Structure formats: C-alpha cells, structure tokens
Amino acid sequence: MLQWVAAARGALIPSATRPGAVLVDLGCGAGLLAPHVAGKGYRHVGVDLTVSALAQAAAHGVAPVRGDVLAVPLRDACADVVVAGEILEHVPDLPRAVREACRLLRPGGLLVLDTLAATRLGRLLGVTLAERLPGGPPPGIHDPALFVNRAELVRECARYGVDLRLWGIRPSVLDMLLWRAGRRSAVRMVAVPTTAVLFQGAGRRR
C-alpha cells in the first residue's frame, strides 16, 4: 500500500519550473517516490535516519542525506518542493517537524504531505484493519498516539506561511478487488470527502 500512496503523492508534484530545482523528500525510506518524480526536472534529495534505506534510495537516483526530520541538516529555503509522505504519523513533535519542512521551502515552494488522522476512525481503519490486510502496513509499525491532529497541522503550517489544503484518500475498491484477483499490479488512490483516516495535503509558502 505504501507504493500506491507514493504514486498518489507523486501525482501532486508538478514539473520543475527552473533549472536546478530541488525536491527534498523527508523520511524518504527506500526511495518509493523516486519513480513517480523521475523526469520532472528535480534534484531529488532524500532525508532519512536509516542507512540501509538511504542506500536503496540512492540506487533509485535519490541524493541521500542522513538526518532526522526534526533537525534536517539542510540550509533554509533550499527546496522548491518538500515532501513529507507517511512520516508525520511517526514523529513525536509535530510542530517541530512542520517547522523544519517549511523552513526548507523557498518562497513560492510547494509542501506535499500525506499522513493518518488522529481520530477514532483513523485508528480503527489505519491500524486495527489495515495491519491485518495483505499488502498493508506491518503490524506494530504505527503508534496511534502519534497520529496527526488536522487542525494543529494546518495551524502550524500557516504559522510559517504555508496555506495547507487537506483532502481524504482511500484505495479504489474496484482496483482492490482486481488486485486481490491478480488482475492488477497496483491500486489507485481516490479522493474522498472525509479526512478522518488517510489524507493528503498541499500548500505553497507565501
């Protein structure tokens, strides 16, 4: 499922508008985003704490930087795009993570994120159910106490000049059935009216 969400994340990122544009991928893991932004004109910089994951990301063309998303070892305003995909629900200090993400953005730069909502439904579907599904997240990978308060997220982004818009996403039911039947290799993520479970966000720095 991480692959499917990465594809949906990549679809939010436009082609670069200037030579030398930089995309900073916070919590890049093994570089799942890389194939979905290849050819868009960015230098793709991946930040992660796990050395083995960074090695895999580098094999996909990502420039690896070992670092914590709460203290990113990159200069201010270095990025045209900052991506925080499937990472905010793992950090113990949301305001600090948001501050770092926004600090990296150039004026006019784009912040793209996806994460899990701090709701009863989010915990039920994002942990209790999802961790039991084939292709879902490994059991125990999520701490529901770290799921993201949406109002706080929007408020913290606004503090640093990023007007964040949120919308919910879920796997396509039809695609899921075809995937389970072995007739599709991937599942599209589709927009839904509620942000109460899995949601995306995007906003530009003023």
Backbone angles phi, psi at 32, to 5 degrees: -60, -30
Residue 45 within a domain: yes
What's the pLDDT tens digit per position in 76-116? 999 999 999 999 999 999 999 999 999 999 999 999 999 99
Q: Classify residue 204: in a domain, yes or no.
A: no
Question: Would residue 206 count as lying in a domain?
Answer: no
Examine residue 205 and state whether it is found in any structural domain, yes or no: no
Asked whether residue 10 is domain-assigned, the answer is: yes
- Helices 150-159/94-104 angle, 10° precision: 40
Provide the domain count of the chain: 1
Contacts of 188 (CB under 8 A, 6+ apart): 4, 7, 8, 171, 172, 175
Query: In one letter, which amino acid is 174?
Result: L
User: In a 3-state reduction of DSSP, which class is residue 87?
Assistant: coil
Can you give the pTM of this predicted structure? Answer: 0.94
Element (H, E) at 104: helix 94-104
154-199: pLDDT as tens digits: 999 999 999 999 999 999 999 999 998 999 999 999 999 999 999 9
Domain that holds residue 21: 2-199
Residue 126 lies in a domain: yes
Q: Is the dihedral of CA 143, 156, 165, 100 positive or negative?
A: negative
Q: Is position 55 within any domain?
A: yes
pLDDT of res. 175: 95
Distance from C-alpha of 41 to C-alpha of 117, rounded to nearest angstrom: 32
Q: What is the CATH number of the domain that holds 112?
A: 3.40.50.150
Does some domain include residue 35?
Answer: yes
